[in-house]
Structure 1
């Protein structure tokens, strides 16, 4: 064999390297496919875990009174889902009545709106003329109706999907709550003694922050619901109790913009009954928000970790993108838990006084000639 033939021969390791490369590529594609398939389930399990953390203080309180952990978990979750169903029922009744009132008052609202436009802009519109124009553009209306009919199946599929996700979170959260101590013991058994204390401390912080956050939100929701329901009842607004419940829950459990969203519905109802009441509702909402921010919330949420508003908004957006309303609700306690845990183990150093830290302009020293 000549030297040229020896140099042209394929190295012995090359076929095995190629087979190994293709095998690793196949494993990577398989892992990528599995991650994309299981990511949704992982997020549901994570949400269920945080729900279990939130329920742990109530369950532990009942267990401390001699009630079995299984029965205590059942009692807590029955009460939780009863509250969810009550809120859903109140919201459903409220929407039905509101839509009915809007439909009933629609002719009067149209006449008043057309009169205002004519008076403000010096026009001569009439309801009959607007209706004739709308009928002439009926093809556009038919197009919207056809589009809505085409999306009916997609809407039904979405509702069923959300129901399945809710049931998945409910089942896993009940399981995590019942077997919480066993899970902690199982996790600690895999770690050395030095790491076990860190895991248990992080677990306790998560329970304290998540459960405390939701408990304080629940107390604020009850106070807000009672106050607003009583005020709406004094105004004589229909469905005052349902409006108060919806306002309290939305304003307390929707972070950052909850109060503004909650105030829209009673204001809309007032506009269909007595428009002047909408102004009184707006003033009461602003006044109550001030009382809650400066009197109620500091006392009720004294144990909570303060989270920067920008970080809280970013966390809510990320949680909502991952798992809708539930993810947005649990985003802030998750960030508070992480902040408290990092604050325990991160060493902070003393910073000397410097005007640049206070935002003061830097003074330039005159150059010596």
Structure 2
């Protein structure tokens, strides 16, 4: 047996063990890595405001704290406003539920010539087996819901802390990264960082503008229908549909439909139709054009990047796909040499013939 064979076998086994260990560690830390990625993009989003306040003489840590405090106050105020409105509407719906049920039963009896009564239906529901099983499953699922809520709060806290440190120690972090690179690479890293800040800010600007347009459009519809709390509902639709990827549209449209149902059941149908029509207008006309201008990428590339990001990272990928692709495109644009396209006489003659 050759001398090198035992060493080669040991080396291969060691490399395989290291690969398995690295793969296991990556799968265990993938949630943390995703949180850090979200925090990094949030830090890039608030970087312009923090830098502007720091340039006026304020300490960077205090400036970052004030920016995050303002975002937190606005978020809590929005949640409190929507929570109070939703609680009042739920109480009103519960009080008026017997009227809705009597109206529905009356329509069924008139249409199908039946003899149903609300008391009989309530009695059969209360003594049904599936309702008892549902109550038991709901009681056992309270712990799961509590664990999910606590996990979500811990995730938000982790993202908030990392994004605060990234924003507050941005210059120090850039110096630490550049200190291990040669001068030529340092310029490239700093340029990529500046591009990422600009593109992420442009993306959030486009999202904020689309949220404003969506809020105004839905506000007009809700006011015409006479739905109560129209300003709060319009603000809900604008923010949720733009800043919660994938399921944000459905969450945004469900609440106005619910409130409109308390006024008139047909109003809920009207709101649903408008939400669907507006969503198609936004997806195929407004969003591609606006995003391509603010982030400077082609609408098809923006649409494809969202699909690819969703396939790779889910909702998180859909949220950060466009600024990431825009940053990569702008950074690589400096290293791609473009040439003039030679005119094809045949193509030129065909174009002139079609225009004439």
Using the size of structure 1 for normalisation, the TM-score is: 0.77
SS at match of 2:134: helix
Partner Cα separation in structure 2 for residue 315 and residue 84 of structure 1: 29
Partner Cα separation in structure 2 for residue 150 and residue 237 of structure 1: 37
Pairs within 5 Å for 1:1-369: 11-120=2-111, 123-136=114-127, 138-222=128-212, 224-225=214-215, 228=218, 232=222, 236-255=226-245, 258=248, 261-275=251-265, 277-278=267-268, 281=271, 302-306=293-297, 307-308=299-300, 310-315=303-308, 317-318=310-311, 321=314, 324=315, 328-347=318-337, 350=341
How many pairs were matched up?
Answer: 343
SS at match of 1:345: coil
Partner Cα separation in structure 2 for residue 209 and residue 59 of structure 1: 16
SS at match of 2:295: coil
1:161-210 deviation digits (Å, cap 9, x = unpaired): 11111111111111111111122222223223333332222211211111
Is the contact made by 1:213 and 1:304 (CA closer than 8 Å) also made in structure 2?
yes
Structure 1 residue 84: deviation in Å?
A: 1.9
Partner Cα separation in structure 1 for residue 280 and residue 21 of structure 2: 52
Partner Cα separation in structure 2 for residue 102 and residue 30 of structure 1: 56
1:199-247 deviation digits (Å, cap 9, x = unpaired): 2222112111111211332344356546655764676533334323212
Partner Cα separation in structure 1 for residue 50 and residue 343 of structure 2: 47
Structure 1 residue 52: deviation in Å?
A: 0.4
Distance of aligned partners of 1:256 and 1:149 in 2 relative to their CA distance in 1, 3 Å threshold: closer
Using the size of structure 2 for normalisation, the TM-score is: 0.79
Is the contact made by 1:47 and 1:327 (CA closer than 8 Å) also made in structure 2?
no
Structure 1 residue 110: deviation in Å?
A: 1.9
Is the contact made by 1:220 and 1:297 (CA closer than 8 Å) also made in structure 2?
no
Distance of aligned partners of 1:34 and 1:127 in 2 relative to their CA distance in 1, 3 Å threshold: same
Unaligned regions of 5+ residues in structure 1, if any? 1-9, 356-369
Partner Cα separation in structure 2 for residue 310 and residue 274 of structure 1: 37
1:77-124 deviation digits (Å, cap 9, x = unpaired): 111111222222233223322322322222222223333444555655
Distance of aligned partners of 1:29 and 1:107 in 2 relative to their CA distance in 1, 3 Å threshold: same
SS at match of 1:55: helix
Task: Look at both structures and tell me which one has the larger radius of gyration over its CA atoms.
Answer: 1
Query: Relative to structure 2, which stretch is displaced further, 185-194 or 162-171?
Result: 185-194
Is the contact made by 1:224 and 1:247 (CA closer than 8 Å) also made in structure 2?
yes
What is the root-mean-square deviation in Å for CA atoms of aligned residues? 3.8
User: 1:364 is matched with which residue?
Assistant: none
Unaligned regions of 5+ residues in structure 2, if any? 347-356
1:128-157 deviation digits (Å, cap 9, x = unpaired): 443344244x22111122222222212211
Is the contact made by 2:241 and 2:251 (CA closer than 8 Å) also made in structure 1?
yes
SS at match of 1:330: helix
Is the contact made by 2:288 and 2:303 (CA closer than 8 Å) also made in structure 1?
no
Query: Relative to structure 2, which stretch is displaced further, 51-60 or 284-293?
Result: 284-293
Structure 1 residue 251: deviation in Å?
A: 2.8
